[in-house]
Structure 1
Amino acid sequence: MADVPKPPDAPLQIQLDDEVANGQYVNMAMVNHTETEFTLDFIYVQPHQVRAKVRSRIILNPKHVKRLLLVMQESLASYEARFGPLDPSGEGSSMN
């Protein structure tokens, strides 16, 4: 059978709905995992409240988590090179 020529890769066209484009402010994140997936919950905790609301839940496979971790490390290193090191302790450090 003859090889069928592969069409050139077209650039990925990403759509961004207006509601998603506005973004969500969060000040807490929780990460859970099973053997096959990671669940990232992004939460907004209001001051002096006993309840908090999950603003977004993202479910990823482990390979995508690894890629996300690597790109976040690169981005953070670039940020700290420009603006100085960040101290992860103290107020606003609610990450599990």
Structure 2
Amino acid sequence: MLSLVLVSSAFAQKAVMEAPKGFDQPTAGSATGKLDSISYTSKTVGTVRKALVYTPPGYSKKKKYPVLYLLHGIGGDEKEWLKGGDRR
């Protein structure tokens, strides 16, 4: 009886990539959006929930925009991402 065994191993590449200095700092003269705090009634959990909504500079209700939902974990709140997601 002949047995065939295939062994495969993968190695992660060491990619050292750093963001440019100051990437996380506001740039003077650049347009900024708006952050609003809203409340809505959740049909799923049956209570009033809070959320933060960011609208980009020049936002128009007549235009469609891509959406990114940032969800917090258990014990967090709608401002968790503003705190860097860190509960310390």
- State whether TM-score is above 0.5: no
Q: Looking at secondary structure, tell me which structure has more helix per residue.
A: 1
Q: Looking at secondary structure, tell me which structure has more strand per residue.
A: 1
The structure with more radius of gyration:
2
* Greater relative contact order (Cα < 8 A, sep 6+): 1
